Homo-oligomer: A and B are copies of this chain.
């Protein structure tokens, strides 16, 4: 039962990590982040940073890896959102 749940944990971690790849591709192609929430990505990136530090404190490589990868992907989306916000505020 433990082994089965371990596999499920890995599947879960892989899915919630790779989920951000299509969002990164969409933002990269369209440069459109209008319907993406800035506070969401600020909170999410802060949370992922805490998860990565948590993994470092516990010396758990899967926690560190999954969160550093997701943080890189989410960080790119946050960066693009901030660029758009800056561009829109200049226009006004």
- Please report the total number of A residues contacting B with Cβ < 8 Å: 43
Contact in complex: A35, B35 (CB < 8 Å):
yes
Q: A15–B51 Cα gap in the complex (Å)?
A: 10
Residues of B within 8 A of A36 (CB): 23, 35-36
Q: Which residues of A contact B (CB under 8 A)?
A: 1, 4-5, 8-9, 11-23, 25-27, 30, 32-41, 43-44, 46-48, 50-51, 53-54, 57-58
Residues of chain B with a CB closer than 8 A to A15's CB:
43-44, 46-47, 50
Q: Contact check, A22 vs B46: say whether CB atoms are below 8 A apart.
A: no
From the candidates B34, B35, B37, B54, name the one contacting A8 in the complex (CB within 8 A). Answer: B54
Instruction: From the candidates B4, B22, B33, name the one contacting A39 in the complex (CB within 8 A).
Output: B22
Assess whether B33 is in contact with A26, with CB atoms less than 8 Å apart.
Answer: no
Q: Which residues of B contact A1 (CB under 8 A)?
A: 57
Please, how many angstroms separate the alpha-carbon atoms of A23 and B11 in the complex?
Answer: 25
